[in-house]
Amino acid sequence: MFYTDHELVIFIRLLTTHILKKSFHILALCIVVILVSCSGVVDTEPEISLVIFTSTGLKNVPIGFNAFPNNPDIYLMNLDSSEVVRLTETRGPKSSPVWSPDGNRIAFAWDNLDKDDKSSIYVMGNDGKNIIRLTDRTTQDHKPSWSPDGKKIVFHSYRDGNAELYIMDADGNNQTRLTENPEIDWTPAWSPDGSQIAFVSYRDGNADIYVIDTKGNNLVNLTQDVAKDNSPSWSPDGNKITFHSDRDGNWEIFIINSDGSDPVNISQNLNRDSFPSWSPDSSKIIFSTNRHSENEHDNNYEIYIMDADGSNQVRLTDSLGNEQNPSWRP
């Protein structure tokens, strides 16, 4: 078959156009892949699981020697490598450390003995540096919990004579009383959607878990049990609340639906299990327990992890100290 010069020119033009289009598509695809990779949208590396907790850290690996014996400091554990790093080493016990929603800051309560402080709320960087006092009271401020947007912190305080809930900006400004009841209101936990705060109150004669809105209204008793329920923690998906309770005779970890229904004992242990905290995907729970102590009143607490249904309970720390108040990085 023979082509005229005119037909050959047309054929070459068509072929060239086709090749250029194909090359352009391939080039464009390569550019997209490069841009996506650089932007961090595609991330093949697994997220590192980090947990903070308090420990008296007495002389043994992995917690290490504490310059202030029986003085709880804040530690950071990498769950993937089991590496433990001390974040604080100062006089006075620390308690209730909790991550900010972006994981960059940690709020906690500290009885700063160097300043004759009975307990104030502080924040620091996730490396333990840049410690800033948010509340400056001679009474006791405890148990901070961040709002989901990181702009506010709720906590309980004895500044007005008994434990009540207060809200403040994340920089410590605009401290406002949220509850006003002659009985104890404490251990608040902000809901993932930001609309409610769970807390413990004795207003009905025993420790039950309640929820209110962020203005202090629309109070609801979720547990209504004659036993003591304490330390509520919302699942990140907002569907469940875990807490510890003595309703089966000793402190154990329970889960309820966010409306208070279907309470289930998930830790099922004869010793004391307490201070539960959820993993970011709501699939696991870390908690503190003294189940390896010589008796149930021994304060040798360790950190454990389990699935959200209570299965696969595994010990994470092994120390002569007292490990409590675990909190999982969002």
Domain boundary assignment for the chain: 1-41, 50-328
Across residues 9-19, what is the average pLDDT?
46
SS3 270: coil
41-45, 82-86, 106-110, 162-166: which range is least confident on average? 41-45
Among candidates 182, 187, 179, 125, which has minimal Cα distance to 155?
Answer: 187
* pLDDT band (50, 70, 90) for residue 139: confident
Fold of domain 50-328: Neuraminidase (2.120.10)
Tell me, what's the pLDDT at 160?
A: 87
* pLDDT band (50, 70, 90) for residue 117: low
Please work out, in degrees rounded to the nearest 5, the angle formed at the alpha carbon of residue 88 by the alpha carbons of 84 and 92: 130
More confident residue, 189 or 113: 189
Tell me, what's the pLDDT at 298?
A: 64
16-20, 150-154, 297-301: which range is least confident on average? 16-20
Among candidates 203, 129, 123, which has minimal Cα distance to 168?
Answer: 123
pLDDT higher than threshold 80 for residue 60:
no
pLDDT higher than threshold 70 for residue 183:
yes
pLDDT higher than threshold 90 for residue 169:
yes
pLDDT higher than threshold 60 for residue 120:
yes
Token reading at 214: 């962020």
